[in-house]
Amino acid sequence: MTILILGGQGNLGTQLTKLLAADYAVVSWDKDESDVLNFDLLAARVRELHPDLIINAVAYNAVDKCEDKEEYRLARQLNVDLPAVLADLALEQGAVLIHYSSDYVFSGTELKRQFVENDTPNPVNKYGESKFQGEREILRRAASGLKYYLIRTSKLFGPRGASEHAKPSFFDTMLELVKTKEELPVVNEELSCFTYTPDLAAATKRLWELEEPFGIYHLINEGPVTWYDAATELFRLRGIAANLRAVRGENVPRPARRPKFSVLDNTRFRKLRPWKVALKEYLENN
């Protein structure tokens, strides 16, 4: 049993690699080991390895930068073309493919409700559009027999990935900002769910090990929350008297629009624990 993880040093990829390598033969590639955008080379290396499971944790994740035309080209290569190539390779090799998508595939502008797995995406920004197009590449090949888990998740946090480029999570950023800022304006909108990367890695492993039916899954920690309420809980748990100010999304100028509500509802798999419990554990261990 060989598992190939792409993006193995990203925030999620690091957790997947750590967890799966305890039980399986894992080959984990990151930018240094493999240029995933050299598709011919990638295909040759995958064929040589002949993995049973391919996990794609590579992504273009810079939501605001993605609105720029040049950046969007790169985003499409990483979020659309790469999953298409991997889906073809998985089909050819008879491997299972696990790919991650985002709550940002949903618009969440009018409907104040949760999104279930078979709701129709309607992204409001370029990043969401690229993730949606990536989903379509996978689903298109499902009809040809692709064995896949398409996992939508949102607002990742957890230990920083092994890569020097790994981005700090919202919580880590808040803990840094509070050291120097007298007041922290935080958006009290954009309701969605946080997801602890070790929990997501463990749920991904269970999903695959239990041989759940192939398809789309929503894996998030339970409990929708705004950025502001999440920051309030963070500082309460850390015992920091931060001066938070709740602001509307439109008062924080950002190039990309955000969904106002993008709460994912997990109706198909065992629910993950509440985000507050996961955050408490994260803070205790870091």
Structure tokens belonging to residue 121? 């995406």
86 binds ligand NAP (CB under 6 A): no
CA proximity to 243, closest of 180, 190, 286, 193: 180
Give the integer Cα–Cα distance in Å for 179 and 29. Answer: 35
**Nearest distance in Å: CB 152, ligand NAP:** 7
The reply to whether 217 belongs to the active site is no
**Nearest distance in Å: CB 219, ligand NAP:** 10
Candidates 10, 121, 123, 128; binder of ligand NAP (CB under 6 A) is 10
166 binds ligand NAP (CB under 6 A): yes
**Nearest distance in Å: CB 159, ligand NAP:** 11
80 binds ligand NAP (CB under 6 A): no
46 binds ligand NAP (CB under 6 A): no
144 and 214 Cβ atoms separated by less than 8 Å: no
256 and 66 Cβ atoms separated by less than 8 Å: yes
Closer to ligand NAP by CB, 98 or 178: give it. 98
Candidates 110, 118, 145, 165; binder of ligand NAP (CB under 6 A) is 165
Closer to ligand NAP by CB, 16 or 244: give it. 16
Helix (H, G, I), strand (E, B) or coil at 111: coil
**Nearest distance in Å: CB 190, ligand NAP:** 12
153 binds ligand NAP (CB under 6 A): yes
For CA atoms 135, 161, 47, 1, give the dihedral sign: negative
30 binds ligand NAP (CB under 6 A): yes
Extended strands (E) in the chain: 2-6, 25-29, 53-56, 96-102, 147-153, 156-157, 184-187, 195-196, 215-218, 221-222, 244-247, 272-274
Amino acid at 241: A
126 and 72 Cβ atoms separated by less than 8 Å: yes
Selected catalytic residue, list 127, 149, 217, 282: 127
54 and 2 Cβ atoms separated by less than 8 Å: no
Binding letters toward ligand NAP, positions 88-127, x by CB under 6 A: ------------x-x-------------------------
Contacts with ligand NAP by CB under 6 A lie at 7, 9-13, 30-31, 35-37, 57-59, 61, 78, 100, 102, 153-156, 161, 163, 165-167
Catalytic residues: 127
